[in-house]
């Protein structure tokens, strides 16, 4: 089975799961009069559009109008339906019994990532020890909330850890990508796709991570009152200065913090880079079944769907399985759970590795300087 067919099969399975027992999820819940199951169906239709668009573009190039419309329409359907599901999700109040073992699992997972990277890099990339540094920084991110008192929310080390991630990523790209990454995105179409991917990811991330809501909770204190005010927000890892806003007439509410903006910049930038590189390959006539194209697509879609987007993941699972999906919520959102940090680490490593793979091979047909 070809790589493209495997990717298509995976997306098809995800799409089919969205239709499994939709009526069982949060019976009677609606979003602006729209039933929950209909939003789940919109997400499923979006996945179908993505699969169709992907196959058409991979076969005929980025100039194929049907493929472009199907892919863009599918992405918009997934984002709109996903936002609707996030906005009406039911938040479980009681943590499962296994949540108490999260701290031990987190420490073991972080240690495995830090120590395991040493033999892997030594075996595959002995001349690139910077990969160990990236894995180590991500391992520290995973372990940070459970090894410091009070989750390390006020410890200055947290700021060092957060800023160390983008600094290390930039260093890896500077050493292993350099001008080849710049040349790969030198054409207008690739840059346009990268910019669009960044915008769509930012919107999806902001809503799914809970920083923006189009269905805000209205209390007696906030009803009819628009405001913008400053206060600290404890995410990611430590307290960050943030601007909270609430405009009931739109309606929209949320906050923008230094930490959340930095996280969106890192993840959105990596997703955009991979989307641009995949487009470059299609435009240059590269092999659509190559490891680079498949890895880039999986990296971009996987990070967009999962990384730090626990509410979105839980919302989709909840639309299928109802209250039985509540363990998913605690697995991602509990600070002592390793799942959220592991998804972040996996997404960053997958996205960085995908981009480096492009510049290390001729699959992207990067033009000469």
Task: Write down the pTM of the prediction.
Answer: 0.75
Task: Report the pLDDT value the prediction gives residue 170, as an integer from 0 to 100.
Answer: 94
Summarize pLDDT for 82-138 with one digit per residue, the tens: 777 766 666 666 555 555 667 788 889 899 999 999 999 999 889 999 999 999 999
Tell me the C-alpha distance between 10 and 165, whole Å.
30
Tell me, letter by letter, the H, E, C secondary structure of 263-305: HHHHHHHHHHHHHHHHHHHHHHCCCCCCHHHHHHHHHHHHHHH
Tell me the C-alpha distance between 76 and 46, whole Å.
7
Tell me the C-alpha distance between 67 and 64, whole Å.
5
Helices (H) and strands (E) in the chain, counts: 13, 6
CB 176, CB 359: distance < 8 Å: yes
CB 141, CB 341: distance < 8 Å: yes
Tell me the C-alpha distance between 167 and 69, whole Å.
37
**High-pLDDT (> 70) share of the chain, %:** 64
Check residues 367 and 16 and name the one with the higher pLDDT: 367
Q: What is the largest CA-CA distance in the chain?
A: 63
Place 1 in a pLDDT band, splitting at 50, 70 and 90: very low
Summarize pLDDT for 41-93 with one digit per residue, the tens: 887 888 888 888 877 776 776 666 777 788 888 888 887 777 777 666 666 66
Place 18 in a pLDDT band, splitting at 50, 70 and 90: very low
Q: What is the distance in angstroms between the CA of the first residue and the CA of the last residue of the chain?
A: 37
Return the structure tokens found at 110.
């972080």
CB 282, CB 68: distance < 8 Å: no
Looking at the DSSP bridge assignments, the partners of residue 231 are: 242
Looking at the DSSP bridge assignments, the partners of residue 257 are: 242
Check residues 93 and 351 and name the one with the higher pLDDT: 351
Where do runs of H (alpha helix) occur along 177-226?
Answer: 179-184, 188-208
Tell me the C-alpha distance between 83 and 315, whole Å.
9
Q: What is the mean pLDDT of the chain?
A: 74
Summarize pLDDT for 191-243 with one digit per residue, the tens: 888 898 898 888 878 877 778 887 766 665 556 678 889 989 888 899 999 99
**High-pLDDT (> 90) share of the chain, %:** 18
């Amino acid at each position: 089975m070809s790589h493209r067919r495997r990717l298509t099969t995976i997306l098809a399975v995800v799409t089919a799961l969205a239709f499994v027992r939709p009526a069982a999820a949060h019976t009677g819940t609606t979003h602006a009069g729209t039933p929950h199951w209909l939003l789940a169906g919109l997400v499923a239709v979006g996945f179908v559009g993505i699969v169709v668009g992907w196959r058409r573009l991979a076969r005929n190039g980025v100039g194929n109008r049907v493929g472009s419309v199907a892919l863009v329409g599918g992405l918009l359907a997934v984002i709109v339906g996903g936002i609707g599901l996030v906005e009406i999700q039911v938040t479980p109040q009681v943590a499962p019994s296994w949540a108490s073992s999260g701290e031990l699992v987190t420490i073991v997972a972080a240690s495995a990532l830090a120590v395991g990277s040493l033999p892997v890099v030594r075996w595959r990339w002995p001349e690139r020890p910077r990969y160990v540094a990236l894995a180590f920084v991500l391992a520290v991110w995973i372990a940070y909330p459970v090894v410091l008192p009070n989750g390390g929310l006020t410890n200055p080390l947290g700021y060092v850890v957060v800023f160390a991630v983008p600094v290390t990523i930039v260093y890896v790209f500077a050493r292993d990508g350099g001008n080849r990454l710049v040349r790969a995105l030198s054409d207008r179409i690739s840059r346009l796709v990268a910019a669009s991917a960044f915008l769509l990811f930012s919107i999806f991330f902001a809503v799914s991570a809970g920083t923006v809501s189009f269905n805000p909770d209205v209390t007696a204190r906030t009803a009819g009152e628009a405001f913008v005010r400053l206060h600290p927000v404890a995410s990611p890892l430590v307290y960050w200065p943030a601007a909270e806003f609430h405009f009931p007439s739109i309606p929209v509410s949320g906050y923008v913090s230094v930490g959340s903006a930095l996280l969106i910049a890192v993840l959105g930038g990596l997703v955009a880079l991979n989307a641009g590189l995949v487009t470059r390959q299609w435009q240059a006539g590269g092999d659509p079944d190559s490891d680079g194209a498949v890895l880039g697509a999986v990296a971009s879609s996987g990070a967009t769907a999962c990384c730090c987007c626990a509410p979105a993941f839980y919302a989709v699972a909840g639309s299928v399985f109802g209250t039985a999906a509540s363990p998913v919520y605690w697995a991602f959102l509990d600070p002592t759970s390793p799942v959220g940090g592991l998804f972040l680490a996996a997404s960053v490593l997958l996205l960085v590795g995908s981009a480096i793979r492009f510049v290390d091979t001729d699959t992207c047909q990067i033009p000469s300087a």
